[in-house]
């Protein structure tokens, strides 16, 4: 094989690999869901695709790396910069407006335990500062979220979940 033919082959291998790497690093990336904290929306073993450059909106599911751990979290954004949050009788109030949360998993055995189940004072924040979010899991009784580790910094967000591509890939 001469040099010209070798370069030709390299172009067909290296260029697609560079393009794929660029897409994964800067545009979209697959993430494996690990744990039950986002049930019923996402289950342990699901594979989701995150958009790396998407704007975070209220109630989006996001993937982030929090300083309290060395692994990625997937949670739902309930508090945006400038918001005030309160939970009363398991109803979420954002800026004094009650919100229905149809995505929240309520196990058959669950009782309304406002002190344990719901948002209390998260990191002693009265108004969410600029560049931060408050996140909660959809399965509140099994979720480690802002109730435990406080605010999530915007710069720690890896991306916004856009698609679930595989449901429990371990079943294959």
Do residues 75 and 145 touch, judged by C-beta distance below 8 A?
A: yes
Burial 111-143 (b: 16+ CB within 10 A, else e): eeeeeebbbeebeebeebeeebbbbbbbbbeeb
Do residues 92 and 147 touch, judged by C-beta distance below 8 A?
A: no
- Any catalytic annotation for residue 75? yes
Q: Which of 4, 29, 37, 162 is catalytic?
A: 37
Q: Which of 29, 52, 68, 75 is catalytic?
A: 75
Q: Give all strands of the β-sheet with 152-153 in edge-to-edge order.
A: 28-32, 47-51, 157-166, 61-65, 72-79, 132-136, 152-153
Catalytic residues: 37, 75
């Amino acid at each position: 094989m001469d040099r010209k033919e070798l370069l030709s082959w390299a172009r067909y291998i290296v260029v697609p690999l560079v393009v794929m790497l660029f897409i994964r690093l800067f545009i979209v990336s697959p993430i494996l869901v690990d744990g039950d904290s986002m049930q019923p929306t996402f289950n342990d073993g699901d594979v989701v695709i995150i958009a790396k450059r998407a704007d975070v909106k209220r109630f989006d599911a996001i993937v982030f790396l929090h300083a309290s751990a060395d692994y990625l979290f997937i949670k739902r954004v309930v508090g945006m910069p400038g918001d005030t949050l309160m939970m009363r009788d398991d109803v979420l109030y954002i800026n004094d407006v009650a919100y229905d949360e149809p995505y929240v998993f309520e196990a058959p055995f669950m009782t309304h335990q406002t002190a344990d189940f719901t948002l209390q004072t998260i990191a002693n924040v009265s108004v969410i500062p600029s560049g931060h979010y408050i996140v909660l899991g959809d399965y509140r009784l099994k979720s480690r979220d802002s109730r435990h580790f406080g605010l999530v910094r915007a710069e720690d967000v890896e991306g916004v979940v856009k698609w679930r591509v595989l449901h429990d890939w371990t079943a294959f």
